[in-house]
Amino acid sequence: MQYNVLGDTGIRVSQLCFGVLPMGPNQFGLSPEEGGELIREGILSGINFLDTAQSYRTYPHIRRALDSLGANRDEVVIATKSAASTYDEMKAAVEEARAALDREVIDIFHLHAARVDANVFKHREGALECLVDCKARGVIRAVGVSTHSVSAVRAAMDVGEIDVVFPIINKEGLGILHGTKEDMEIAIQEASLKGKGVYGMKALGGGNLLGDREGAIDYVRNLPGVSSVAIGMINHDELAMNLRVFNDLEVPEDLAEATVRRKNLIVQVFCKGCGRCVEICPNMAMEVVDGKARNGASKCILCGYCAPVCPEFAIRLV
């Protein structure tokens, strides 16, 4: 496993980052015990970097893994994020993470800004100010932004307070907003040259690129400026598979086949057509037609962001 330092932060992370979204209740619903065991196994196998979010509801899974590590629990680098806009909302999100993870210091705290553009730093000024204050107090180590937008990555380059950028990037350009895959490649490289730490999300395009998993992962891990790649994992086979890829070991065919997981998004009949899923979707992959939400499969990257905002619990990723 290769380890890289994230930009100017001094934070050293494994090239494989454990994405802790899909194991949570928004998607596959592993219990904290099951998820915690898998995260622990990943950490003992060389992964030192976990990525989560307030909205993923996976702090209990991570806490379980950390508690099992004893004195080594603080060596794990944790990145989390919140969609908070105001100072007070972000302050509450930081305190929630610290309490839920039983951590004095959160390593990286992002503005969770999937679909917003370059104006994110103006619109979320209060939340950003809070993160800067938290860093000054030593409660977080680095301030970041997670985004699907090329223009937000470009804007982040000129925001001195931003230490880490977590953009969507994959070999087909799935889900990238406000620019092309090539535009994002250039923005990532330039951000990195300006000292921002960069790690990539959705290398597998939400499962759409599993047909060439190694090619998709290699594309992102070899991009200039990318220090780590977050990949969601929900079982031991997937962990074993990704560890082999990131350790440059051959992947046995049976393991590769066992780990082809194709998710589907289902809108159940009791959808009330409120449109909240349409508003949150970073990819414009949802629309309301005749009073019911409809998913445009070709645009959907199965990120799962729509499921938790549905007041009717009508969206399922299976």
Note the residues at the interface with ligand SF4 (CB under 6 A).
265, 267, 271-277, 281, 283, 285-286, 288, 293, 295, 300-306, 310, 312, 314-315
Residues 6 or more apart in contact with residue 209 via CB below 8 angstroms: 170, 171, 172, 174, 203, 216
Distance in Å, CB of 55 to ligand SF4, minimum: 12
- Residue closer to ligand SF4, measured from CB, 9 or 82: 82
Distance in Å, CB of 219 to ligand SF4, minimum: 20
- Residue closer to ligand SF4, measured from CB, 37 or 312: 312
Distance in Å, CB of 286 to ligand SF4, minimum: 5
- Residue closer to ligand SF4, measured from CB, 249 or 289: 289
- Residue closer to ligand SF4, measured from CB, 90 or 306: 306
- Residue closer to ligand SF4, measured from CB, 155 or 302: 302
Distance in Å, CB of 268 to ligand SF4, minimum: 8
Here the tokens at position 45 are 């196998």
Distance in Å, CB of 300 to ligand SF4, minimum: 3
- Residue closer to ligand SF4, measured from CB, 103 or 202: 202
Distance in Å, CB of 270 to ligand SF4, minimum: 8
In DSSP notation, the chain reads --EEE-TTS--EEESEEEE-STTSTTTT---HHHHHHHHHHHHHTT--EEE--GGGT-HHHHHHHHHTTGGGGGGSEEEEEE---SHHHHHHHHHHHHHHHT-S-EEEEEEEESS--TTHHHHTHHHHHHHHHHHHTTSEEEEEEEESBHHHHHHHHT-TT--EEEEB--TT-TT-BSS-HHHHHHHHHHHHHTT-EEEEB-TTGGGTTGGGHHHHHHHHHTSTT--EEEEE--SHHHHHHHHHHHTT-PPPHHHHHHT-----EEE-TT-----HHHHH-TTS-EEEETTEEEE-TTT-----TTGGG-TT--EEE-
- Residue closer to ligand SF4, measured from CB, 261 or 276: 276
- Residue closer to ligand SF4, measured from CB, 217 or 286: 286
Distance in Å, CB of 190 to ligand SF4, minimum: 27
d(CA 168, CA 98): 26
Distance in Å, CB of 284 to ligand SF4, minimum: 8
